[in-house]
Amino acid sequence: MHFVPSDSEALKSFMEEKHLGQVDLARKAGVSQSTVSRALSGFSLRRGRARSRLFIYAQIKDPERQVPPKKGPQRVMTAFQRIWDGTEAHASAVARIIDALEDLKPASKKQG
């Protein structure tokens, strides 16, 4: 088991600032209420997707989240995870922005 008081305290502060209860936060972050409860207790057996979504939504950096190398697709995914709040609506909005950037693609090299 890992005890991470700074994570749970940051989450409690976020909830107080936003006037959110556990159920409200769980719904907004797209996780279960039990995930929120475990994160608030400071004890966590797993560092899974649900926990990551919760901390991304609350904009709390997870010190145990591994940052992949800043190359190619991994760099793009890291940037996306940094800004995405964990909701489907926000994912759609970010996807529309990415789609709008299509004209910025570098021209393909001519094979010859």
Distance (Å, whole) CA 90 – CA 92: 5
Distance (Å, whole) CA 31 – CA 52: 10
Q: Give this prediction's pTM.
A: 0.52
Distance (Å, whole) CA 61 – CA 42: 15
Query: Which domains are present in the chain?
Result: 2-57 (1.10.260.40), 72-104 (no CATH)
What is the pLDDT, as a whole number, of residue 3?
A: 45
Judge whether 71 and 99 are in contact, CB under 8 Å: no
What is the pLDDT, as a whole number, of residue 67?
A: 52
Comparing 72 with 93, the larger pLDDT belongs to: 93
Note the pLDDT tens digit of each residue in 1-52. Answer: 444 447 788 899 999 999 999 999 999 999 999 989 988 887 665 667 888 8
**Which amino acid belongs to residue 62?**
D
Round to the nearest angstrom and report the end-to-end CA distance of the chain: 58
3, β-bridge pairs: 43
